[in-house]
């Protein structure tokens, strides 16, 4: 009986170790895939053209006041959504007037309000998106 118990324990330990190894391998693959995508990423759907309007619109000037640490070149990479535009279901957005709220996930029934400065995650590169969320150089203290 004791021998069967030891065999069972050894088998369970081997299965745990194999499971842990598979999990570690999957995490390593995800990290490698993330690095590869980050190296290639200039926006959710490819290289975005510079947004020259972003430096001229009154809303953009207000946004620049909210985030003065972003350079002129950074602002060329920010595409603000026009009021009245319908949000796409499941997509992520960020309101520059309410940064502490964080990412908003659309249900598909919302439109861009005139009182918001909305940025669509798909229309901005990951570096600027992360900085806006405070994951980069910017720290929000509330």
74 and 128 share one domain = yes
CA distance linking residue 112 with residue 118, whole number of Å: 7
pLDDT at 71: 82
Per-residue pLDDT of the chain (142 residues; tens, 9 = 90+): 577 888 888 888 888 888 888 877 777 676 655 554 544 445 555 555 655 555 455 677 777 788 788 887 887 778 888 888 888 899 999 998 888 888 999 998 888 888 888 888 888 888 888 888 886 544 443 3
Q: Is the pTM of this model over 0.85?
A: no
- Residue 140 in any domain: the answer is no
Our CA angle for 103, 68, 95, nearest 5°, is 20
CA distance linking residue 132 with residue 119, whole number of Å: 10
Question: Looking at the 3D structure of the chain, how many domains does it have?
Answer: 2
CA distance linking residue 81 with residue 59, whole number of Å: 10
**Domain assignment of residue 128, given as a range:** 52-132
């Amino acid at each position: 009986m004791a021998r069967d118990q030891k065999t069972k324990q050894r088998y369970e330990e081997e299965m745990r170790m194999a499971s842990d190894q598979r999990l570690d391998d999957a995490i390593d693959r995800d990290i490698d895939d993330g690095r590869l995508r980050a190296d290639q990423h200039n926006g959710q759907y490819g290289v975005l053209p510079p947004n020259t309007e972003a430096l001229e619109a009154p809303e953009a000037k207000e946004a620049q006041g909210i985030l003065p640490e972003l350079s002129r070149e950074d602002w060329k990479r920010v595409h603000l959504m026009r009021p009245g535009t319908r949000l796409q279901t499941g997509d992520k957005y960020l309101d520059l007037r309410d940064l502490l709220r964080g990412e908003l996930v659309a249900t598909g029934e919302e439109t861009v309000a005139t009182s918001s400065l909305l940025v669509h995650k798909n229309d901005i590169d990951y570096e600027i998106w992360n900085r806006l969320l405070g994951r980069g150089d910017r720290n929000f203290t509330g």
